[in-house]
Structure 1
Amino acid sequence: MGESQSALFPNYGRYPLTFVKGEGSRLWDENGKEYLDLMCGLAVTNLGHAPKQVKERLKNQVDTLWHTSNLFHIPDQQKLAELLVANSCADAAFFCNSGAEANEAAIKLARRYFQKVIGKPERFEIITFHMSFHGRTLATLTATGQDKVKEGFAPLPEGFVYAPFNDAEALEKLIGDRTCAIMLEMVQGEGGVNPADPAFVKRVAELCEQHGLLLIVDEIQTGMGRTGKLFAYEHYGIEPDVFTLAKGLGSGMPIGAMLGKEKLREAFSAGSHGSTFGGNYLSTAAGVATVETILEEKLPERAAELGQYVIGELEQKLAGNPLVQQIRGLGLLIGIGLNRPAAELISELHAEGILVVSAGPNVIRLAPSLLISKEDLDRGIQAICGILAKKAGAAV
């Protein structure tokens, strides 16, 4: 059935593929064709598809209890919060259903902290960065530094100012009497897999301390071991006041989290914010099993090692290819920057049974499972380099 005949709104530009089974780094379509998954549902299935530990935990929970609401205590919600707090710089967690909701909670927390705790209601603006991506709610798409996601949604809420990424001098000039926070990604995922410069991040942290601002780090795509640390902020030697998680936190179950420092606890007093399904029995069961597996199997360290290997192989094999501008990334979040649109190349890779996705119009993004084998990575690298070599020859 075509989108024009579908009962669904046509708001997704879908690839012509329908998958019916997944296991590890493999997916199978409705015709039985096998695919090597190097995109993990947009950096979600960090443990691969249907990981045993998560599946068993979910099955046990499905047989026991699904929902009561946040008016009652949910044991795995408490356990997941304790796991995340014990392994991060945070002191408290709030659970929701998605990355956009986690970032929305961070925005609300920052504003309420200054209004209700600090007593400075005039400070409500948050500085974000060009080419950032923070979500699709009205507040988070406004926070996003890309005009394309805002088209047709005016009027947008006030309270956001945009700075050039990796430009500390320009950022400093934008801080004013209304600024309450700076919000950034350590690697801009949707913006093109752009890592933050260490000196820039250090200066951002210094500016937050100097001006009494909250530092919010969006770890929706970079968190849960993907970049070679459990959280990407750890690469930079800083401690954010707030950071957000989703994607890889639940191995495909819908869950988001906003974590913050002790001083912020008072801002989210009873009744100030909530979510009917946030932190429910099923999503937090998946979250606990996911985090335990990541920690027990030392998957951040594995992602760091494999990421270095992939980037090294791509740099070597694509050296001199006129279509390739730059290989960049952190851990197993890697971008191949091209001097042409990536869409056709991605479709050809799909036809060969290799699943990748774009990050902006000219970047091929790789975000494989943290448990992927080196043999599978080699297969993916060979296919990508083969397609790019063929296209380079045709272009000449």
Structure 2
Amino acid sequence: MLSARTVKAVLSTTSRASLSKNAGRITSTVAMTKRSASTNSEITHPDSDVPKETIDTIERYNKYTLNTYARPDLMFTHGKGCYIYDTNNRKYLDFSAGIAVNALGHADEEVAKTLYEQAMKLVHCSNLYHNENAGALAEKLVTETVQQGGMDAGKVFFANSGTEANEGALKFGRKWGNLVEPSGKKHKIVSFTNAFHGRSMGALSATYNPKYQKPFAPLIPGFEVAEYNNVDDVKRLVDDNTCAVIIEPIQGEGGVHPANAEFLETVRKECTEHNALLIYDEIQCGLGRTGKLWAHQYFPDSCRPDILTMAKPLANGIPIGAILMTDKVADVVKIGDHGTTFGGNPLATGVALSVLNRLAKPEFLKQVLSTGDVLKKGLDDIHTAYPKIVKEVRGNGMMLGIEFTKDPTPIVKMARERGLLVITAGSNTVRIIPSLTLTEAEAQEGLNLFKSAVHQFSESQ
């Protein structure tokens, strides 16, 4: 209800004599004031409400840190489960999960216990020697993948990040091509529009986005780009000179775009016919994010890859990446072909083994699907409520995207100032990628906050 002061302010703009004539204008002004008051009252975490000490600290650190991110003047100090807290001790529901990394949430007790116990035993010993955790993790990845109906996995190579995993996979593709065709002609790698595979030179060459690529040209030669979900384009570009094709079964950074079955079947068929390797980048969509261990399990067996890359949630925030491959690929990679200093260290692989044991459980994946259904229905309801600004909802499990008709970047701030963290992606999309431990009640809480932000965004248009 409007206060007497607000009503008086509205009436003061109009004389009593012209009140009848301007009644429509007054009604409109009052309605706008109501909406504004309602929207503003929902802002509980304004970005401007930051302690001076935090601002001073950020300014001091910025003198020494190369900043390549547009960040608000907030600093997070701790978290628990699906929530994270800033220096004001304000609580935020985290629907970004460190960009799909914190699958088990923040400050998970089992992860912390494993970290402590392993750090007290052995953190690093180099790959010149065996350690007990790396082999056990490799065995678990291979056996779980096969048992759950994924690719015909054979062996694993450990790296430190998703980008490194993709770099290794691309190298293996080039090695394959040189063995099949010693002349060197078979070196072409095909990637896709809206893809994101990393920032290093090889991975960046497969990431078709002029914004990312142009400042660092010339890139690695031999890459060509096909249109995602375009069967004819795949047939046109994959040929006898192709050594590998790299693709995300569900694109993440590009806007949460799932491949369709006919398209992936065509990609697999063309790779087989031209003796090229098929690489699936499941760095964001794999390891339970979609409600299955691997996203490619949503597709027919005829779509299985030769190589799969993973990283983000594998150790719940401890840096690690991995390349899962069939035996035919492993057979061509020889001693000295590839290496890593930190990859496969006892600390990271010990934590990853603990995390994977939980992510791979059928009951855990079932919970991801059920809570994902709550999120999907809530986003569909927002789509229905705001059809003029919401174009589409896409995704599976807890990898969801809601595409808007206009750039939704302002929604990130609007949500954050209500205590909800979300991030954008390509194609005017907001990504919903919370921790996989999210409860249905937390999902509904986040949906309510997000809808409020979407309402404010709608009113601002």
Shorter-chain TM range is over 0.9
1:122 Cα deviation after fit: 1.7
Q: Is the 8 A contact 1:318 1:385 kept in 2?
A: no
SS of equivalent to 1:134: coil
Q: Which residue of 2 aligns with 1:281?
A: 346
Match of 2:169 in 1: 106
Structure 2 equivalent of residue 174 of structure 1: 237
Give the equivalent residue in structure 1 for 2:28. none
SS in 2 for 1:173: helix
Aligned ranges for residues 1-396 of structure 1 at < 5 Å? 1-2=58-59, 5-88=62-145, 89=151, 90-116=153-179, 119=182, 121-237=184-300, 238-296=303-361, 298-321=363-386, 322-360=388-426, 362-395=428-461
| Secondary structure in 2 matching 1:46 | coil
Q: Is the 8 A contact 1:4 1:10 kept in 2?
A: no
Structure 2 distance, partners of 1:165, 1:225, is 23
Q: Deviations over 1:256-308 (max 9, x none)?
A: 00111001112221111000000111110111011001123632222222222
Letter in structure 2 aligned against 1:374 = E
- The CA deviation at 1:214 is 0.9
SS class of match (1:108): helix
How far apart are the structure 2 equivalents of 1:98 and 1:317? 35
The 2-side partners of 1:345 and 1:258 are apart by 36
Deviates more, 1:320-329 or 1:1-10: 1-10
Name the structure, 1 or 2, with higher relative contact order (CA <8 Å, separation 6+).
1
Q: What is the Cα deviation at residue 5 of structure 1?
A: 4.7
What SS does the aligned partner of 2:384 have? Answer: coil
What is the CA–CA distance in structure 2 between the aligned matches of 1:190 and 1:231, rounded to whole Å? 18
Which stretches in structure 2 are left out of the alignment for 5+ residues?
A: 1-57, 146-150
Structure 1 residue 97: Cα displacement: 0.4
Given that 1:22 and 1:28 are in contact with CA atoms closer than 8 Å, whether structure 2 keeps it comes out as: yes
> How many matched pairs?
395
Contact 2:281 2:309 in 1 (8 A): yes
Q: 1:230 to 1:280 in 2, by over 3 A?
A: same
Q: CA-to-partner distance for each residue in 1:169-218, whole Å, 9 max, x for gaps?
A: 11111122321111100111000111111221122112212222211000
By how many angstroms is 1:29 displaced?
0.7
C-alpha deviation, 1:239, in angstroms = 1.6
Q: What amino acid is aligned across from residue 342 of structure 2 in structure 1? A: F
TM-score by length of 2: 0.83
CA shift, 1:360, in A, is: 2.3
Task: Report the residue type matching 2:126 in the other structure.
Answer: S
Cα RMSD, aligned residues only: 1.6
Give me the whole-angstrom Cα distance separating, in 1, the residues matched to 2:63 and 2:406: 32
* Aligned-partner residue type, residue 42 of structure 1: I
SS of the residue 1:150 aligns to: helix
Report if aligned partners of 2:173, 2:243 keep a CA contact under 8 Å in 1: yes
- Residue aligned with 1:269, SS: coil
Shift of 1:49: 1.0
Q: 1:392 to 1:18 in 2, by over 3 A?
A: same
Contact 1:3 1:10 in 2 (8 A): no
Is there any run of 5+ residues in structure 1 with no aligned partner, and where? Answer: none
Q: Say whether the 8 Å CA contact 1:304–1:331 is kept in structure 2.
A: yes
